[in-house]
Amino acid sequence: MNVYDGLRITAMLERHGYVHTDDIADADIILLNTCAVRAKATEKVYSALGRIRLAKKKDAIYGIVGCVARESGSDAFRKLKDLNFVLGPQSYHKLPEILSDPNTKLLDINLGGLEKFDELPPITKSPLVAYIPVQEGCNHCCTYCIVPYTRGPEISRAFNDIMAETMHAAEVGAIEICFLGQNVNGYKFTDKNGKTYRLSDVIKATAKIDSVKRIRFTSSYPTEMTDDLIELFGTEKKLLPFLNMPIQSGSDNILKRMHRQYSISEYMAIIDKFKNIRPDIQISSDFIVGFPGESDDDFEQTMHAAKHVGYINSFSFKYSPRPHTAAAIMPDQIPENIKSERLIKLDDLLNERQREFNLSCIDKTFECLYEGPDKTGKKHIYRTPYMQPCIVTTDNPTNMATITITSANKSCLHGKIID
């Protein structure tokens, strides 16, 4: 979501005559687009702002946009007195106000809904992967999560707006479309004629665009997986066989305390449905370890669930207490050292499974999407349908390539282009 917001902000600043620079000392405006989901991310923002302040030109304006802006509000100005703007995730289209008068202080952390989508100029050139948000905010109230506070209640965008943006992205170069939402599979929009559109309708319409070759979406809430969407995986070949469906914990007791609205057996039944419809599907997940009250036994159940599903690529985090959340004030917080031990154990398991899956890809052939040159500039990185990075040697990288995998390790594949 932040990548998308960043591209729209860039397009807006370009329209005001700005050009991108990586050199802070050269910039006239510097903004940090921020994430507040864990405390560490928020802390990093303030240390980065301190560094920017020292490195920037004296009259350059600087500020923050995104979820930390919303979390901090006017406190940000107290922490850094010369900060110029603090704009929440639904207010960054107001940035031009400060460009016309850099002496004002601009604070807007309102949750204005979908206004930003209409007010921002469209991107002029798309990367090969275009991220298209189908909704803002989230109506689930997971007790650990700050997102409902920072991004507000869930609002689905109009179907026609999503399709217009998707078609435009395809026209200006996108080959893969990734639909975004905090609860992307809960997308639901009813137009003025009473016709209701779900994510499956968005995907079906997108698949009709010839130049779009791959479609995916993130992040899914398990119990919002409706049959129309699951069945689409059986018929729509452009949908990648790779799905992010966060389990968070493998213990029913902890899921209840997290206010996740499913049990482990319900979650596993959804995975089975997918596997029946699309046997080559692979799943990734998010995990939180050390949630308040998590016992050794609860944690073992998480290990068990992770082993059972065999996730091929996951994100795992130590629970981080966040302001405006119910879990932050639960009494039975877990000590940091136990959280760390559990994270190491879980990561070992997840990494081993990732390595195993990567090795199982050797000698297989995939249609892959170009990402860019590797660090040396001599080789090129592609993404397989499972989003694994695959390194190849070629003088002539094409946008899509048929690649046979020749070797693999935990973090990447190597292959040769056969077509």
- Name residue 268's beta-bridge partners: none
Using the minimum distance from each CB to ligand 5AD, give the nearer residue, 291 or 382: 291
Distance from C-alpha of 285 to C-alpha of 280, rounded to nearest angstrom: 17
Using the minimum distance from each CB to ligand 5AD, give the nearer residue, 200 or 320: 320
- Residue with the two structure tokens 């290990």: 303
Is 182 near ligand SF4 (CB under 6 A)? yes
Distance from C-alpha of 86 to C-alpha of 70, rounded to nearest angstrom: 8
Is 131 near ligand SF4 (CB under 6 A)? no
Subset of 302-321 contacting ligand 5AD (CB under 6 A)? 317, 319-320
Q: Which residues contact 14 (CB under 8 A, 6 or more apart)?
A: 20, 124
- Name residue 31's beta-bridge partners: 63
Segment contacting ligand SF4 by CB under 6 A, of 94-102, 137-145, 358-366, 367-375: 137-145
Distance from C-alpha of 366 to C-alpha of 6, rounded to nearest angstrom: 31
Q: Which does 183 bind (CB under 5 to 8 A by kind): ligand 5AD, ligand SF4, none?
A: ligand SF4
Q: Is the dihedral of CA 122, 123, 126, 130 positive or negative?
A: negative
Q: Pick from 216, 257, 278, 322: which binds ligand 5AD (CB under 6 A)? A: 322
Subset of 38-97 contacting ligand 5AD (CB under 6 A)? 38
Q: Pick from 29, 147, 215, 312: which binds ligand SF4 (CB under 6 A)? A: 147
Q: Which residues contact 76 (CB under 8 A, 6 or more apart)?
A: 64, 68, 69, 83, 86
Is 184 near ligand 5AD (CB under 6 A)? no
Q: Pick from 145, 232, 264, 346: which binds ligand SF4 (CB under 6 A)? A: 145
Per 3-state DSSP, the chain is made up of helix, strand and coil in percentages (nearest 5) of: 40, 20, 40
CB atoms within 10 A of CB 418: 9
Cα 29 to the chain's mean position, in Å? Answer: 26
Is 62 near ligand SF4 (CB under 6 A)? no
Q: Which residues contact 351 (CB under 8 A, 6 or more apart)?
A: 410
Q: Pick from 45, 67, 87, 142: which binds ligand SF4 (CB under 6 A)? A: 142
Using the minimum distance from each CB to ligand 5AD, give the nearer residue, 189 or 317: 317
Is 248 near ligand 5AD (CB under 6 A)? yes
Tokens of 322: 């966040």
Residue nearest to ligand 5AD (CB): 286
**Min separation Cβ 148 and ligand 5AD, Å:** 11
> Which helix or strand (DSSP H or E) is residue 107 part of?
strand 106-108
Angle of helix 336-360 relative to helix 296-309, nearest 10 degrees, comes to 10
Contact code string over 201-230 relative to ligand SF4, x by CB under 6 A: --------------------x---------
Q: Are strands 61-66 and 85-87 parallel, antiparallel or unpaired?
A: parallel
Q: Which residues contact 109 (CB under 8 A, 6 or more apart)?
A: 69, 70, 73, 86, 87, 88, 91
**Min separation Cβ 152 and ligand SF4, Å:** 11
**Min separation Cβ 145 and ligand SF4, Å:** 3
Q: Which does 319 bind (CB under 5 to 8 A by kind): ligand 5AD, ligand SF4, none?
A: ligand 5AD
Q: Which does 382 bind (CB under 5 to 8 A by kind): ligand 5AD, ligand SF4, none?
A: none
**Min separation Cβ 107 and ligand SF4, Å:** 24
Amino acid making up residue 217: F
Q: Which does 148 bind (CB under 5 to 8 A by kind): ligand 5AD, ligand SF4, none?
A: ligand SF4
Is 148 near ligand SF4 (CB under 6 A)? yes
Is 246 near ligand 5AD (CB under 6 A)? yes
Distance from C-alpha of 182 to C-alpha of 148, rounded to nearest angstrom: 9
**Min separation Cβ 213 and ligand 5AD, Å:** 27
Using the minimum distance from each CB to ligand 5AD, give the nearer residue, 35 or 52: 35
Where are the alpha helices (H) located in 73-158, listed in sequence order? 75-79, 95-100, 115-119, 147-151
- Residue with the two structure tokens 């179907």: 159
- Residue with the two structure tokens 């669930």: 305
Is 267 near ligand 5AD (CB under 6 A)? no
Is 288 near ligand 5AD (CB under 6 A)? yes
- Residue numbers at the binding site for ligand SF4 (CB under 6 A): 138, 140, 142, 145, 147-148, 182-183, 221
- Residue numbers at the binding site for ligand 5AD (CB under 6 A): 37-38, 144-145, 246, 248, 286, 288, 317, 319-320, 322
